[in-house]
Chains A and B, each alone.
Chain A
């Protein structure tokens, strides 16, 4: 992207964004992040989500979860390839993604399937549920270690542990692909975006792009 050495419009954008983010703290993200789930729940209760509110809530929370996972995966490539530094927001985005997925799961458990024996049967026997549930389980240790103390305590291991989000993201995309009927484009778009963001992290790509500059 940045092929010229003199500061172009793109560099100005980068500088403006970086200057702004230096001043904006991460904590408001938690408050803003609480808005969509609350809105979805209230909309479901008040009949604004159509005639099948449970499915609509489930689907919307699932979609929001994927958006947040994708947003979290964008941070490193944005810094590496565009020089935009958003690292300080990554923890909030990751934790929000985890809580959204927890919400998505709870809607499915409590409002949709309801029956305990069927919940267990679904997790074991239905591949799309198994895949989604596995992704959720993978994110539990990541959520638990998303704090400064864990980073210090785990040292170099922390980074290794948190690379598990790559696997969880792939499983999340797969979960969406597996649950639709017939051939539908939307889940494949999510999968393509996630795979592209992961590909940007491959060492050969990083080396290739450095050589290109």
Chain B
């Protein structure tokens, strides 16, 4: 496909996003393996060992195996992507990620023709992740994408932010970023990527399928059963006037709407 080479700043739409300061990005996290409070990950994630790190790539690929992170990065074309992150909890912030396209890694592993989905899994180490003591979700955290979503040039695996190594609370050493989907689709600290034909198990739709669907595309017209998704609180905007209107596909409709042509987005939420 060769998408990696053309996935440059041209895809960093919408334009003119002002990134949040690094303090916002690193002190306001949902990473339930380290606790359900927004500052719990910043307090607890330091214990996670991220070196050495291996990602198992398996399933319908030509070259399955344990890929060392250094090796993945050495072969990747790292670029900056400034994306707005829209959380399903109706808040957003802007993050300058460093990373490479998921497509480039999948191509390296050799996705077999006809494979339909990609499944992801987060590391689960009870001794380093105090949140795993509580059954908030069915651990380990798992996520998934349809193959065309996974191969889309906007979809990246992030290894850093603000030009520095990814902090642990943001999903070090390797996390998914899919800017047109709610933040929880961006699975953190990935240890396994499986190419498969069945729709992957996803932790949040398992926990509450009525509230969190497999697609979870940002959509101001499809409300969460418990709150509206029409607007979002802008993190870092202070006490007053901190709400903005949520955009269809988080502002990336021109790039991704065609992936869902003909689908009822109320049904496939």
State the A residues within 8 Å of B (CB).
44-45, 47, 50-55, 111-115, 118, 121-122, 125-128, 178-185
Residues on A with beta carbons closer than 8 Å to the beta carbon of B236:
51
Task: Report which of B32, B207, B226, B239 forms a contact with A54, defined as CB distance below 8 A.
Answer: B239
- B38 engages A52 (CB within 8 Å): yes
**Complex alpha-carbon distance, A127 and B243, angstroms:** 22
Interface size, B (range): 20 to 34
- B28 engages A51 (CB within 8 Å): yes
Residues on B with beta carbons closer than 8 Å to the beta carbon of A44:
239
Give 10 closest A-B pairs by Cβ, nearest first.
Answer: A182-B136, A51-B24, A51-B28, A51-B235, A183-B136, A114-B243, A184-B36, A51-B236, A182-B137, A52-B235
Residues on A with beta carbons closer than 8 Å to the beta carbon of B91:
52, 55
**Complex alpha-carbon distance, A178 and B235, angstroms:** 23
Q: Is the interface of B mostly helix, strand, loop or mixed?
A: loop
Using known A-B contacts A126-B227, A182-B137, A182-B207, determine if residue A54 contacts B242 with beta carbons closer than 8 Å.
Answer: yes
State the B residues within 8 Å of A (CB).
20, 23-24, 27-28, 32, 36, 38-39, 89, 91, 93, 134-137, 204, 207-208, 223, 226-228, 230-231, 233, 235-236, 238-243
Q: Is the interface of A mostly helix, strand, loop or mixed?
A: helix
Min distance, Cβ A100 to any Cβ of chain B, angstroms: 19
Min distance, Cβ B30 to any Cβ of chain A, angstroms: 8
Residues on A with beta carbons closer than 8 Å to the beta carbon of B89:
181
- B233 engages A55 (CB within 8 Å): yes
**Complex alpha-carbon distance, A50 and B235, angstroms:** 10
**Complex alpha-carbon distance, A53 and B89, angstroms:** 15
- A118 engages B228 (CB within 8 Å): yes
- B226 engages A52 (CB within 8 Å): no
